[in-house]
Amino acid sequence: MHELSVINSIHSIVLRHAALHKVRKITAIHLEVGALSDLEDRWMQHYFDFISKGGIAEGARLVIERTPAVMQCADCGSSFEMGKTRDGCCPQCGSKSLALVGGKQYLIKNMEAL
């Protein structure tokens, strides 16, 4: 049920923006979701349809874009996509002290409205 709480907060943020800009109907919401996030597209849309029923965002389409997971090297400070490591080491300096700094986040990029 993780998607439900995420969708709930996305929905309320979207409604707040809509009220601010005097929007009558929201038709689409563009989201960026980290590649490592366990959010599934079809469940997100399913929950969104459920939550938005009867509101101004009812029927809005979720346009979901996956962003790559990002690692950062503790030794040289460079950051790079997870797939770019060299045998699990930093591609710049070869260090193994890598930390995951992105890939699980989600973010509302913009929305389309009438």
Q: Which residues bind Zn ion (CB under 5 A)?
A: 73, 75-76, 90, 92-93, 95
* Rounded Cα distance, 91 and 89, in Å: 6
Task: Count Cα atoms within 13 angstroms, Cβ side, for 70.
Answer: 12
Least distance between Zn ion and beta carbon 3 (Å): 35
* Rounded Cα distance, 92 and 89, in Å: 9
Tokens found for residue 107: 């973010």
Least distance between Zn ion and beta carbon 105 (Å): 23
Least distance between Zn ion and beta carbon 73 (Å): 3
* Rounded Cα distance, 28 and 62, in Å: 6
Least distance between Zn ion and beta carbon 8 (Å): 39
Q: Which is nearer to Zn ion, 26 or 90 (CB)?
A: 90
Q: Which is nearer to Zn ion, 27 or 95 (CB)?
A: 95
Q: Which is nearer to Zn ion, 51 or 89 (CB)?
A: 89
Q: Which is nearer to Zn ion, 97 or 110 (CB)?
A: 97
Neighbouring CB atoms inside 10 A of 56's CB total: 17
